[in-house]
Copies of this chain bind each other. A is one copy, B any other.
C-alpha cells in the first residue's frame, strides 16, 4: 500500500512509513493542541515535493492563516504564488448572510470543494475543522448517515489524502463532536496537552489507522519555529 509522508518530524515512524494514500484521517484535539499547524505542515511537506495541496479554512480568514504561519517562520506566500498551495476561504459562506439568517447549503460547499480539488489535481487536502460542515445540518437523527456520506464523498477521490480536524470538547473523552467521525474515518491521530507534575507536555497518539501497522505509543512533541511539530520520544 502506497504511503504519503506527513512532513511531521518523527511521525511517519509511528505509521511505518506515512499515511496510507487516498483516505481521510481525523486529527483530533482540544483547542490549542496544534491541529492547524499539523495540517499546514502536512501541506507544506507536499508542496516541497511538488505536490499540490489545498487548505480549507473555516474558522480563520486566509490572511490570518498566512500571518499565523509567518509567526512560526513559514512563508506560505511562496507556495501560494506558484499554485502548490491554495487556501479556500469557506468562511465567506458563513459570514455573508446576516447574523440572524441560517440555511447555508452545506452540500453546495462540499460539492464545490471536492470538485475543485479534483479539477486542480490536488493530492493533499486539509479541512480544518470538519464540524461546521455537519453542524449546519438541522436534523439530528440523520447526522450519522450524513457523516458517513460526507467521508465517503471525500474518500472517493483516491489520489488525494485528506486530513480532517475535529473539535474535541475540553475534558471530553470523545475524539469528535458527534462520536461518529472516529468510526468512519480511516484513522485517528489524537493531539493532547497534558499537565504532568506541573509541567505541560504536548503529545501525539495514533489511535487507529486502517491499512498499516502502527506504533501505539503516545509520543511527546514540541512546536518549534520553522520546524513546527517535532516528535521526541514515547512517554
Using a CB–CB distance below 8 Å, which chain A residues touch chain B?
Answer: 1, 20, 23, 31-32, 36, 59-61, 64, 67-68, 70-71, 91, 94-95, 97-100, 102, 104, 106-107, 110-111, 129, 131-132, 135-142, 144-146, 148-150, 152-153, 155-156, 167, 169-175, 179-180, 182-184, 186, 188, 193, 195, 198, 200, 207-213, 216-218, 223, 225, 234-235
The answer to whether B131 touches A135 (Cβ under 8 A) is no
A32 CA to B213 CA, complexed, in Å: 11
The chain B residue sitting closest to A105, CB to CB, is B100
The answer to whether B140 touches A135 (Cβ under 8 A) is no
The chain B residue sitting closest to A185, CB to CB, is B31
The chain B residue sitting closest to A156, CB to CB, is B95
The answer to whether B102 touches A145 (Cβ under 8 A) is yes
Copies of this chain, complex-wide, total 6
Q: Which of B59, B140, B211 contacts A148 (CB 8 A)?
A: B59
A95 CA to B154 CA, complexed, in Å: 11
The answer to whether A211 touches B131 (Cβ under 8 A) is no
A149 CA to B61 CA, complexed, in Å: 12
A174 CA to B172 CA, complexed, in Å: 9
B-chain residues with CB within 8 Å of residue A102 when the two chains form the complex: 139, 142, 145-146
